[in-house]
Chain A
Amino acid sequence: MEAERFGCIIVGGGIAGLSAAMVLARHEVPFLLIERGAYSGAKNVSGGVLWGTDLARLVPEYWNDPNAGFERFVNHRRLTFLDEQSAFSIDFKSSHYDIPPYMGVTVLRAVFDRWLADKVQEVIDRSACADASFLAFDVLVERLLVEDGRVVGVEAGGERFYADCVILAEGVNNLLTRQIGLQAEYVPADHMAVGVKEVLRFDRRVLEDRFQLSERSGMANEFIGAITDGVEGGGFLYTNRTTVSIGLVLGMADLRRKRKKPYELLDRFKTHPVVADMIRGGEVVEYSAHVVSTGDMRAMPRELYADGVLVAGEAANLLLNAGKAIQGMDFAMHSGILAAETVLEARRIGDFSAATLRRYRERLEQSYVLQNMRNFQAAVRLLHEPVMYERMPRLVCDLGREFFRVENRPAPKLRQILRDVVRRHSSLPELLKLTYRAWKAL
Protein backbone atom coordinates (compact mmCIF):
# COMPACT_ATOMS: atom_id res chain seq x y z
CA MET A 1 0.00 0.00 0.00
CA GLU A 2 1.32 3.39 -0.88
CA ALA A 3 1.81 5.71 2.05
CA GLU A 4 -0.58 8.64 2.24
CA ARG A 5 0.74 12.09 1.49
CA PHE A 6 -0.56 15.40 2.87
CA GLY A 7 0.17 19.07 2.43
CA CYS A 8 0.86 19.25 6.15
CA ILE A 9 0.82 17.01 9.20
CA ILE A 10 0.02 18.57 12.56
CA VAL A 11 1.11 16.67 15.64
CA GLY A 12 -1.20 17.52 18.53
CA GLY A 13 -4.83 18.59 18.65
CA GLY A 14 -4.55 21.16 21.43
CA ILE A 15 -4.93 24.90 20.94
CA ALA A 16 -1.75 25.41 18.85
CA GLY A 17 -2.50 22.44 16.59
CA LEU A 18 -6.19 23.26 16.15
CA SER A 19 -5.43 26.91 15.42
CA ALA A 20 -3.00 25.87 12.69
CA ALA A 21 -5.59 23.38 11.43
CA MET A 22 -8.27 26.07 11.23
CA VAL A 23 -6.07 28.28 9.03
CA LEU A 24 -5.13 25.35 6.76
CA ALA A 25 -8.77 24.23 6.53
CA ARG A 26 -9.87 27.74 5.55
CA HIS A 27 -7.24 27.79 2.79
CA GLU A 28 -8.12 24.29 1.62
CA VAL A 29 -4.74 22.74 2.29
CA PRO A 30 -5.07 18.96 2.71
CA PHE A 31 -3.72 18.11 6.15
CA LEU A 32 -3.68 15.40 8.77
CA LEU A 33 -3.92 16.36 12.43
CA ILE A 34 -2.96 13.57 14.83
CA GLU A 35 -4.06 13.73 18.45
CA ARG A 36 -3.15 11.01 20.94
CA GLY A 37 -6.15 11.67 23.18
CA ALA A 38 -9.56 10.14 22.52
CA TYR A 39 -10.77 13.70 21.75
CA SER A 40 -9.17 17.13 21.69
CA GLY A 41 -8.59 18.22 25.28
CA ALA A 42 -8.48 14.68 26.66
CA LYS A 43 -4.79 15.17 27.51
CA ASN A 44 -4.74 18.94 28.07
CA VAL A 45 -4.57 20.88 31.30
CA SER A 46 -4.34 24.62 31.78
CA GLY A 47 -4.99 27.18 34.51
CA GLY A 48 -6.87 28.58 32.49
CA VAL A 49 -7.57 31.89 30.95
CA LEU A 50 -7.26 32.28 27.19
CA TRP A 51 -6.26 35.92 26.77
CA GLY A 52 -6.71 38.16 23.78
CA THR A 53 -8.99 38.20 20.77
CA ASP A 54 -7.41 35.66 18.41
CA LEU A 55 -10.25 33.24 19.13
CA ALA A 56 -12.61 35.65 17.37
CA ARG A 57 -10.37 35.42 14.29
CA LEU A 58 -10.60 31.63 14.26
CA VAL A 59 -14.27 31.34 15.19
CA PRO A 60 -15.94 34.65 14.26
CA GLU A 61 -18.61 35.77 16.70
CA TYR A 62 -18.17 32.69 18.84
CA TRP A 63 -19.96 34.54 21.66
CA ASN A 64 -23.21 34.24 19.73
CA ASP A 65 -22.93 30.43 19.77
CA PRO A 66 -24.85 29.19 22.82
CA ASN A 67 -22.69 26.05 22.78
CA ALA A 68 -19.37 27.90 22.49
CA GLY A 69 -16.74 26.01 24.47
CA PHE A 70 -15.56 28.80 26.75
CA GLU A 71 -16.68 29.10 30.36
CA ARG A 72 -16.89 32.81 31.18
CA PHE A 73 -15.47 36.06 29.85
CA VAL A 74 -13.19 37.88 32.26
CA ASN A 75 -14.24 41.34 33.40
CA HIS A 76 -12.85 41.10 36.91
CA ARG A 77 -9.13 40.85 37.69
CA ARG A 78 -7.55 40.49 41.09
CA LEU A 79 -3.97 40.12 42.28
CA THR A 80 -3.73 39.00 45.90
CA PHE A 81 -0.76 39.12 48.27
CA LEU A 82 -0.90 36.70 51.17
CA ASP A 83 0.73 36.03 54.50
CA GLU A 84 -0.50 33.17 56.71
CA GLN A 85 -3.62 35.04 57.86
CA SER A 86 -4.21 37.97 55.53
CA ALA A 87 -4.91 38.83 51.92
CA PHE A 88 -4.23 42.22 50.36
CA SER A 89 -5.68 42.53 46.86
CA ILE A 90 -5.42 44.81 43.91
CA ASP A 91 -8.86 44.47 42.42
CA PHE A 92 -10.20 45.77 39.15
CA LYS A 93 -13.59 45.15 37.60
CA SER A 94 -15.15 46.96 34.67
CA SER A 95 -18.16 46.53 32.42
CA HIS A 96 -15.81 47.96 29.78
CA TYR A 97 -14.68 44.35 29.34
CA ASP A 98 -18.23 43.02 28.86
CA ILE A 99 -18.30 43.80 25.15
CA PRO A 100 -17.15 41.21 22.58
CA PRO A 101 -14.59 40.40 21.40
CA TYR A 102 -13.68 39.59 24.98
CA MET A 103 -10.25 40.37 26.40
CA GLY A 104 -10.06 36.91 27.90
CA VAL A 105 -12.18 33.84 28.55
CA THR A 106 -11.83 31.11 31.16
CA VAL A 107 -11.70 27.62 29.71
CA LEU A 108 -11.71 23.97 30.72
CA ARG A 109 -9.61 22.26 28.09
CA ALA A 110 -11.56 19.01 27.80
CA VAL A 111 -14.58 21.15 26.90
CA PHE A 112 -12.93 23.98 25.00
CA ASP A 113 -10.53 22.01 22.78
CA ARG A 114 -13.25 19.55 21.89
CA TRP A 115 -15.52 22.39 20.77
CA LEU A 116 -12.70 24.02 18.80
CA ALA A 117 -11.98 20.69 17.07
CA ASP A 118 -15.66 20.49 16.09
CA LYS A 119 -15.41 23.98 14.60
CA VAL A 120 -12.35 22.95 12.56
CA GLN A 121 -14.20 19.85 11.36
CA GLU A 122 -17.13 22.06 10.27
CA VAL A 123 -14.79 24.18 8.17
CA ILE A 124 -13.19 21.06 6.65
CA ASP A 125 -16.63 19.66 5.81
CA ARG A 126 -17.61 22.82 3.96
CA SER A 127 -14.32 23.01 2.04
CA ALA A 128 -13.00 21.39 -1.13
CA CYS A 129 -10.78 19.29 1.16
CA ALA A 130 -13.72 17.57 2.86
CA ASP A 131 -12.34 14.18 1.80
CA ALA A 132 -8.66 15.11 1.98
CA SER A 133 -8.15 16.62 5.45
CA PHE A 134 -8.53 14.63 8.63
CA LEU A 135 -8.54 15.00 12.39
CA ALA A 136 -7.34 11.66 13.75
CA PHE A 137 -7.82 10.88 17.44
CA ASP A 138 -6.48 8.15 19.69
CA VAL A 139 -3.30 7.89 17.64
CA LEU A 140 0.17 8.42 19.07
CA VAL A 141 2.95 9.76 16.86
CA GLU A 142 5.92 7.59 17.76
CA ARG A 143 8.59 9.41 15.82
CA LEU A 144 9.33 11.83 13.04
CA LEU A 145 10.51 10.46 9.70
CA VAL A 146 13.74 12.16 8.67
CA GLU A 147 15.38 11.76 5.27
CA ASP A 148 18.64 13.51 4.40
CA GLY A 149 18.29 15.72 7.46
CA ARG A 150 14.80 16.80 6.47
CA VAL A 151 11.54 15.98 8.24
CA VAL A 152 9.32 14.22 5.69
CA GLY A 153 6.54 12.76 7.81
CA VAL A 154 5.63 10.82 10.91
CA GLU A 155 5.29 7.27 12.08
CA ALA A 156 2.08 6.84 14.03
CA GLY A 157 0.23 3.76 15.16
CA GLY A 158 2.72 1.66 13.21
CA GLU A 159 1.97 3.46 9.92
CA ARG A 160 3.89 6.06 7.98
CA PHE A 161 2.40 9.33 6.81
CA TYR A 162 4.21 11.79 4.59
CA ALA A 163 3.76 15.53 4.09
CA ASP A 164 5.46 18.61 2.68
CA CYS A 165 5.89 19.81 6.21
CA VAL A 166 5.11 18.92 9.84
CA ILE A 167 3.88 21.31 12.53
CA LEU A 168 4.84 20.10 16.00
CA ALA A 169 2.17 21.18 18.47
CA GLU A 170 2.87 18.31 20.82
CA GLY A 171 2.82 20.25 24.08
CA VAL A 172 5.41 20.97 26.74
CA ASN A 173 6.76 17.42 26.90
CA ASN A 174 8.09 17.86 23.38
CA LEU A 175 9.64 14.47 22.69
CA LEU A 176 9.57 14.89 18.89
CA THR A 177 11.16 18.36 19.08
CA ARG A 178 13.89 16.64 21.07
CA GLN A 179 14.13 13.75 18.61
CA ILE A 180 15.34 16.09 15.86
CA GLY A 181 17.68 17.98 18.17
CA LEU A 182 15.83 21.29 18.33
CA GLN A 183 15.74 20.83 22.09
CA ALA A 184 18.21 18.91 24.25
CA GLU A 185 17.09 15.40 25.09
CA TYR A 186 17.25 16.20 28.80
CA VAL A 187 15.64 19.48 29.81
CA PRO A 188 16.69 20.42 33.35
CA ALA A 189 14.19 21.57 35.98
CA ASP A 190 15.70 25.06 36.30
CA HIS A 191 13.29 26.99 34.07
CA MET A 192 10.36 24.64 34.41
CA ALA A 193 7.43 24.63 36.83
CA VAL A 194 4.68 22.22 37.72
CA GLY A 195 1.06 23.27 38.00
CA VAL A 196 -1.38 21.37 40.19
CA LYS A 197 -5.04 22.13 39.99
CA GLU A 198 -8.47 21.14 41.21
CA VAL A 199 -11.81 21.78 39.62
CA LEU A 200 -14.43 22.52 42.29
CA ARG A 201 -18.11 22.23 41.47
CA PHE A 202 -20.68 24.64 42.91
CA ASP A 203 -24.33 25.23 42.62
CA ARG A 204 -24.50 27.83 39.86
CA ARG A 205 -26.43 30.34 41.97
CA VAL A 206 -23.96 29.99 44.83
CA LEU A 207 -21.04 30.51 42.47
CA GLU A 208 -22.56 33.60 40.87
CA ASP A 209 -23.52 35.15 44.19
CA ARG A 210 -20.21 34.43 45.85
CA PHE A 211 -18.07 35.85 43.07
CA GLN A 212 -20.53 38.56 41.95
CA LEU A 213 -20.87 37.12 38.47
CA SER A 214 -23.62 37.98 36.05
CA GLU A 215 -24.83 35.80 33.17
CA ARG A 216 -21.50 34.88 31.57
CA SER A 217 -18.98 37.15 33.31
CA GLY A 218 -16.07 35.76 35.27
CA MET A 219 -13.15 36.53 37.55
CA ALA A 220 -9.45 35.79 37.30
CA ASN A 221 -7.55 35.94 40.58
CA GLU A 222 -3.81 35.33 40.98
CA PHE A 223 -2.10 34.91 44.35
CA ILE A 224 1.42 35.26 45.63
CA GLY A 225 2.87 34.73 49.09
CA ALA A 226 2.78 32.38 52.07
CA ILE A 227 0.58 29.78 50.37
CA THR A 228 3.61 28.23 48.64
CA ASP A 229 5.51 27.90 51.94
CA GLY A 230 8.60 29.61 50.58
CA VAL A 231 8.60 27.76 47.27
CA GLU A 232 8.91 29.88 44.13
CA GLY A 233 5.54 30.27 42.46
CA GLY A 234 1.99 31.37 43.10
CA GLY A 235 -1.66 30.46 42.94
CA PHE A 236 -4.68 31.07 40.76
CA LEU A 237 -8.46 30.92 41.01
CA TYR A 238 -10.66 31.26 37.95
CA THR A 239 -14.43 31.07 37.77
CA ASN A 240 -15.99 28.75 35.18
CA ARG A 241 -19.68 28.30 34.43
CA THR A 242 -20.49 26.04 37.36
CA THR A 243 -17.00 25.29 38.64
CA VAL A 244 -13.91 27.03 39.93
CA SER A 245 -10.37 26.20 38.79
CA ILE A 246 -7.95 26.55 41.67
CA GLY A 247 -4.29 25.68 41.69
CA LEU A 248 -0.64 26.46 42.17
CA VAL A 249 2.26 26.82 39.79
CA LEU A 250 5.52 25.84 41.53
CA GLY A 251 9.10 26.25 40.39
CA MET A 252 10.33 22.72 39.94
CA ALA A 253 13.94 23.23 40.95
CA ASP A 254 12.85 25.10 44.08
CA LEU A 255 10.30 22.43 44.93
CA ARG A 256 13.10 19.86 44.68
CA ARG A 257 15.43 22.00 46.80
CA LYS A 258 12.83 22.53 49.52
CA ARG A 259 11.53 18.95 49.41
CA LYS A 260 7.85 19.89 49.19
CA LYS A 261 4.96 17.90 47.76
CA PRO A 262 2.85 19.92 45.32
CA TYR A 263 -0.50 18.53 46.54
CA GLU A 264 0.39 19.34 50.16
CA LEU A 265 1.04 22.93 49.13
CA LEU A 266 -2.31 22.89 47.32
CA ASP A 267 -3.92 21.90 50.64
CA ARG A 268 -2.08 24.80 52.29
CA PHE A 269 -3.47 27.17 49.66
CA LYS A 270 -7.03 25.87 49.98
CA THR A 271 -7.01 26.08 53.78
CA HIS A 272 -5.67 29.63 53.93
CA PRO A 273 -8.44 31.39 55.90
CA VAL A 274 -9.22 33.90 53.14
CA VAL A 275 -9.11 31.31 50.35
CA ALA A 276 -11.15 28.82 52.37
CA ASP A 277 -13.94 31.42 52.57
CA MET A 278 -13.91 31.71 48.79
CA ILE A 279 -14.21 27.99 48.01
CA ARG A 280 -16.36 26.73 50.89
CA GLY A 281 -18.86 24.10 49.75
CA GLY A 282 -17.08 23.40 46.47
CA GLU A 283 -16.88 19.71 45.60
CA VAL A 284 -13.64 18.47 44.03
CA VAL A 285 -14.54 16.87 40.70
CA GLU A 286 -11.06 16.62 39.20
CA TYR A 287 -7.42 16.85 40.21
CA SER A 288 -4.81 17.40 37.53
CA ALA A 289 -1.21 18.46 36.96
CA HIS A 290 0.78 19.92 34.10
CA VAL A 291 4.36 21.00 33.52
CA VAL A 292 4.89 24.56 32.27
CA SER A 293 7.84 26.72 31.41
CA THR A 294 8.47 29.56 33.86
CA GLY A 295 8.51 31.93 30.88
CA ASP A 296 12.28 32.16 30.95
CA MET A 297 13.40 32.14 27.31
CA ARG A 298 16.27 29.82 28.22
CA ALA A 299 13.64 27.06 28.33
CA MET A 300 12.86 27.47 24.63
CA PRO A 301 14.11 25.11 21.93
CA ARG A 302 17.31 26.35 20.29
CA GLU A 303 15.28 26.99 17.10
CA LEU A 304 11.59 26.80 16.18
CA TYR A 305 11.98 25.48 12.64
CA ALA A 306 14.17 23.19 10.58
CA ASP A 307 13.90 21.60 7.15
CA GLY A 308 10.27 20.49 6.81
CA VAL A 309 9.21 21.25 10.38
CA LEU A 310 7.82 24.04 12.60
CA VAL A 311 7.33 24.07 16.38
CA ALA A 312 4.33 25.88 17.90
CA GLY A 313 2.70 26.48 21.28
CA GLU A 314 3.99 24.91 24.44
CA ALA A 315 6.24 22.58 22.45
CA ALA A 316 8.20 25.78 21.86
CA ASN A 317 7.79 26.75 25.55
CA LEU A 318 6.02 29.94 24.56
CA LEU A 319 4.76 31.20 27.89
CA LEU A 320 4.89 34.37 29.93
CA ASN A 321 4.03 35.41 33.44
CA ALA A 322 5.28 38.91 34.01
CA GLY A 323 2.95 39.62 36.92
CA LYS A 324 0.04 40.89 34.84
CA ALA A 325 -1.33 37.65 33.46
CA ILE A 326 -0.26 34.08 32.80
CA GLN A 327 -0.13 33.88 29.03
CA GLY A 328 0.31 30.53 27.31
CA MET A 329 -2.84 29.51 25.49
CA ASP A 330 -2.99 32.80 23.58
CA PHE A 331 0.66 32.28 22.56
CA ALA A 332 -0.26 28.75 21.45
CA MET A 333 -3.13 30.07 19.36
CA HIS A 334 -1.07 32.85 17.81
CA SER A 335 1.96 30.69 17.06
CA GLY A 336 -0.31 28.01 15.56
CA ILE A 337 -1.84 30.62 13.24
CA LEU A 338 1.61 31.96 12.27
CA ALA A 339 2.94 28.44 11.64
CA ALA A 340 0.02 27.70 9.31
CA GLU A 341 0.47 31.04 7.52
CA THR A 342 4.13 30.14 6.99
CA VAL A 343 3.04 26.80 5.49
CA LEU A 344 0.74 28.72 3.10
CA GLU A 345 3.65 30.92 2.07
CA ALA A 346 5.94 27.89 1.61
CA ARG A 347 3.31 26.28 -0.61
CA ARG A 348 3.18 29.39 -2.80
CA ILE A 349 6.96 29.35 -3.18
CA GLY A 350 7.08 25.56 -3.41
CA ASP A 351 9.88 25.23 -0.89
CA PHE A 352 9.69 23.77 2.62
CA SER A 353 13.34 23.99 3.53
CA ALA A 354 14.58 25.88 6.56
CA ALA A 355 15.42 28.81 4.29
CA THR A 356 11.69 29.39 3.74
CA LEU A 357 10.40 28.16 7.08
CA ARG A 358 12.57 30.71 8.90
CA ARG A 359 9.78 33.11 7.96
CA TYR A 360 7.92 31.52 10.89
CA ARG A 361 10.61 32.76 13.28
CA GLU A 362 10.44 36.22 11.68
CA ARG A 363 6.65 36.29 12.01
CA LEU A 364 6.89 35.29 15.66
CA GLU A 365 9.58 37.89 16.34
CA GLN A 366 7.35 40.57 14.82
CA SER A 367 4.32 39.39 16.74
CA TYR A 368 3.38 40.23 20.30
CA VAL A 369 4.38 36.71 21.39
CA LEU A 370 8.15 37.01 21.16
CA GLN A 371 8.08 40.77 21.62
CA ASN A 372 6.37 40.36 24.98
CA MET A 373 8.59 37.47 25.98
CA ARG A 374 11.71 39.49 25.15
CA ASN A 375 10.45 42.75 26.66
CA PHE A 376 9.44 41.13 29.93
CA GLN A 377 12.33 38.73 30.61
CA ALA A 378 13.63 41.03 33.35
CA ALA A 379 10.19 40.92 34.98
CA VAL A 380 10.12 37.11 34.77
CA ARG A 381 13.48 36.94 36.54
CA LEU A 382 12.50 39.53 39.14
CA LEU A 383 9.28 37.66 39.95
CA HIS A 384 11.22 34.47 40.51
CA GLU A 385 13.46 35.95 43.16
CA PRO A 386 12.69 34.76 46.71
CA VAL A 387 12.07 38.28 48.02
CA MET A 388 9.13 38.62 45.64
CA TYR A 389 7.22 35.57 46.86
CA GLU A 390 8.44 35.60 50.47
CA ARG A 391 9.02 39.00 52.08
CA MET A 392 7.15 41.36 49.73
CA PRO A 393 3.72 39.72 50.17
CA ARG A 394 4.30 39.76 53.94
CA LEU A 395 5.24 43.42 53.82
CA VAL A 396 2.10 44.24 51.84
CA CYS A 397 -0.13 42.28 54.24
CA ASP A 398 1.52 43.86 57.28
CA LEU A 399 0.89 47.28 55.74
CA GLY A 400 -2.75 46.37 55.20
CA ARG A 401 -3.13 45.12 58.74
CA GLU A 402 -1.64 48.27 60.26
CA PHE A 403 -3.40 50.67 57.90
CA PHE A 404 -6.85 49.18 58.40
CA ARG A 405 -6.44 48.73 62.16
CA VAL A 406 -8.76 51.04 64.10
CA GLU A 407 -8.26 51.26 67.85
CA ASN A 408 -9.47 53.41 70.70
CA ARG A 409 -6.16 55.15 71.04
CA PRO A 410 -4.16 57.72 69.06
CA ALA A 411 -3.44 56.33 65.59
CA PRO A 412 -0.05 56.58 63.89
CA LYS A 413 0.30 58.55 60.68
CA LEU A 414 0.68 56.62 57.42
CA ARG A 415 4.36 57.56 57.11
CA GLN A 416 5.03 56.10 60.58
CA ILE A 417 3.20 52.89 59.62
CA LEU A 418 5.17 52.65 56.38
CA ARG A 419 8.48 53.21 58.12
CA ASP A 420 7.76 50.50 60.71
CA VAL A 421 6.46 48.00 58.14
CA VAL A 422 9.41 48.49 55.80
CA ARG A 423 11.82 48.10 58.71
CA ARG A 424 10.17 44.84 59.79
CA HIS A 425 10.37 43.11 56.41
CA SER A 426 12.95 44.92 54.35
CA SER A 427 14.89 48.16 54.28
CA LEU A 428 14.49 51.41 52.44
CA PRO A 429 17.54 50.81 50.18
CA GLU A 430 16.30 47.32 49.28
CA LEU A 431 12.82 48.59 48.57
CA LEU A 432 14.12 51.41 46.40
CA LYS A 433 16.29 48.97 44.49
CA LEU A 434 13.37 46.61 43.89
CA THR A 435 11.10 49.48 42.87
CA TYR A 436 13.72 50.68 40.40
CA ARG A 437 14.10 47.18 38.96
CA ALA A 438 10.33 46.73 38.75
CA TRP A 439 10.02 50.14 37.11
CA LYS A 440 12.50 49.10 34.42
CA ALA A 441 11.13 45.56 34.04
CA LEU A 442 7.41 46.33 33.83
Chain B
Amino acid sequence: MTIAERLGKVNYRNQERRDARPHILVDTNICNTRCPHKATTYVCPANCYTLDEQGHVHFQFEDCIECGTCMYACDQGAVSWHYPDPEQGRGVNWNYG
Protein backbone atom coordinates (compact mmCIF):
# COMPACT_ATOMS: atom_id res chain seq x y z
CA MET B 1 0.00 0.00 0.00
CA THR B 2 1.47 3.36 -0.97
CA ILE B 3 1.64 6.30 1.39
CA ALA B 4 -0.78 8.21 -0.87
CA GLU B 5 -3.33 5.38 -0.55
CA ARG B 6 -2.82 5.34 3.20
CA LEU B 7 -3.36 9.08 3.51
CA GLY B 8 -6.46 8.63 1.37
CA LYS B 9 -7.97 6.86 4.39
CA VAL B 10 -7.40 9.84 6.68
CA ASN B 11 -10.36 12.06 7.49
CA TYR B 12 -8.88 15.56 7.27
CA ARG B 13 -10.56 18.67 8.61
CA ASN B 14 -11.50 21.58 6.40
CA GLN B 15 -10.71 19.65 3.24
CA GLU B 16 -12.83 21.98 1.15
CA ARG B 17 -10.91 25.04 2.37
CA ARG B 18 -8.46 26.30 -0.22
CA ASP B 19 -6.85 28.91 2.03
CA ALA B 20 -6.30 26.74 5.11
CA ARG B 21 -3.79 28.28 7.48
CA PRO B 22 -0.58 26.23 7.87
CA HIS B 23 0.12 25.04 11.42
CA ILE B 24 3.74 24.12 10.79
CA LEU B 25 6.25 26.57 9.36
CA VAL B 26 9.47 25.18 7.94
CA ASP B 27 12.48 27.30 7.11
CA THR B 28 13.62 25.16 4.18
CA ASN B 29 16.62 27.49 3.77
CA ILE B 30 18.04 25.80 6.84
CA CYS B 31 17.27 22.34 5.40
CA ASN B 32 18.88 23.18 2.08
CA THR B 33 21.97 25.00 3.28
CA ARG B 34 23.22 23.45 6.49
CA CYS B 35 21.22 20.35 7.47
CA PRO B 36 23.47 17.26 7.30
CA HIS B 37 20.67 14.65 7.30
CA LYS B 38 17.38 16.13 6.00
CA ALA B 39 15.74 13.55 8.25
CA THR B 40 12.24 14.95 7.95
CA THR B 41 12.16 13.75 4.32
CA TYR B 42 12.11 10.15 5.49
CA VAL B 43 10.93 10.03 9.12
CA CYS B 44 7.66 11.96 8.55
CA PRO B 45 4.88 9.33 8.60
CA ALA B 46 2.78 11.43 6.21
CA ASN B 47 5.55 12.23 3.73
CA CYS B 48 4.96 15.97 4.11
CA TYR B 49 8.64 16.65 3.52
CA THR B 50 9.94 15.70 0.09
CA LEU B 51 13.17 16.06 -1.88
CA ASP B 52 13.19 17.35 -5.45
CA GLU B 53 15.64 16.29 -8.16
CA GLN B 54 18.15 18.88 -7.02
CA GLY B 55 18.00 17.44 -3.51
CA HIS B 56 16.09 20.41 -2.11
CA VAL B 57 13.59 19.95 0.70
CA HIS B 58 9.96 20.94 0.14
CA PHE B 59 7.24 20.98 2.76
CA GLN B 60 3.45 20.91 2.55
CA PHE B 61 1.21 20.88 5.62
CA GLU B 62 -2.00 19.66 3.98
CA ASP B 63 -1.26 15.95 4.48
CA CYS B 64 -0.02 16.40 8.06
CA ILE B 65 -1.59 14.00 10.57
CA GLU B 66 -0.40 16.02 13.60
CA CYS B 67 1.93 13.40 15.05
CA GLY B 68 4.74 15.83 15.88
CA THR B 69 7.61 13.67 14.59
CA CYS B 70 9.27 16.50 12.64
CA MET B 71 9.36 18.70 15.74
CA TYR B 72 11.71 16.16 17.41
CA ALA B 73 13.54 14.79 14.36
CA CYS B 74 14.64 18.24 13.19
CA ASP B 75 17.59 19.24 15.36
CA GLN B 76 18.47 22.23 13.16
CA GLY B 77 15.74 24.61 14.30
CA ALA B 78 13.96 24.64 10.94
CA VAL B 79 10.57 23.42 12.16
CA SER B 80 8.17 25.70 13.98
CA TRP B 81 5.31 23.48 15.11
CA HIS B 82 1.85 24.49 16.30
CA TYR B 83 -1.52 22.83 16.56
CA PRO B 84 -3.85 23.58 13.66
CA ASP B 85 -6.56 26.14 14.23
CA PRO B 86 -9.90 24.26 14.49
CA GLU B 87 -11.61 26.62 12.05
CA GLN B 88 -8.92 27.84 9.71
CA GLY B 89 -6.36 25.07 9.81
CA ARG B 90 -6.13 21.51 8.51
CA GLY B 91 -5.33 18.54 10.68
CA VAL B 92 -7.16 15.33 11.39
CA ASN B 93 -10.45 14.03 12.65
CA TRP B 94 -9.75 10.42 13.54
CA ASN B 95 -12.58 7.97 12.93
CA TYR B 96 -10.88 5.15 14.86
CA GLY B 97 -7.72 6.60 16.44
Binding site for A on B (CB under 8 A): 1, 3, 6-7, 9-10, 13, 37, 39, 42-43, 45-47, 65-69, 71-73, 75, 77, 81-87, 91-97
Query: What A residues does B91 contact at CB under 8 A?
Result: 43
A290 engages B94 (CB within 8 Å): no
In the complex, given contacts A36-B86, A108-B97, A288-B10, what are 7 additional A-B residue pairs having Cβ atoms less than 8 angstroms apart?
A42-B94, A138-B87, A199-B96, A243-B96, A252-B69, A285-B95, A289-B45
Classify the secondary structure of A's interface with B. Answer: mixed
**Docked pose: A37 CA to B6 CA in angstroms:** 22
Query: What A residues does B73 contact at CB under 8 A?
Result: 189, 252, 255-256
A206 within 8 A of B: no
A385 within 8 A of B: no
A38 engages B86 (CB within 8 Å): yes
| Closest chain B residue to A187, Cβ basis | B72
Interface residues of A in 189-207 (CB under 8 A from B): 189, 192, 194, 196, 198-199
| Closest chain A residue to B86, Cβ basis | A138
A368 within 8 A of B: no
Query: What B residues does A41 contact at CB under 8 A?
Result: 94, 97
Distance (whole angstroms) from the CB of A152 to the closest CB of chain B: 22
Query: What B residues does A46 contact at CB under 8 A?
Result: 97
A38 engages B10 (CB within 8 Å): no
Q: A43-B66, A109-B97, A189-B75 are in contact. Are A259 and B92 (CB under 8 A)?
A: no
**Docked pose: A261 CA to B69 CA in angstroms:** 12
**Docked pose: A400 CA to B72 CA in angstroms:** 39
**Docked pose: A188 CA to B79 CA in angstroms:** 13
Distance (whole angstroms) from the CB of A252 to the closest CB of chain B: 6
B43 engages A255 (CB within 8 Å): yes
Max count, chain B CB within 10 A of own CB: residue among A109, A243, A287: A287
Contact of B68 among A109, A140, A284, A291 (CB under 8 A): A291
A139 within 8 A of B: yes
B72 engages A188 (CB within 8 Å): yes
A291 engages B72 (CB within 8 Å): yes
B95 engages A263 (CB within 8 Å): no
Can you sample 22 A-B contacts with CB below 8 Å?
A41-B94, A42-B93, A43-B92, A139-B86, A140-B85, A175-B83, A188-B75, A189-B75, A243-B96, A256-B37, A259-B39, A259-B42, A261-B47, A263-B3, A263-B6, A284-B6, A284-B9, A286-B95, A288-B65, A288-B96, A289-B45, A291-B69
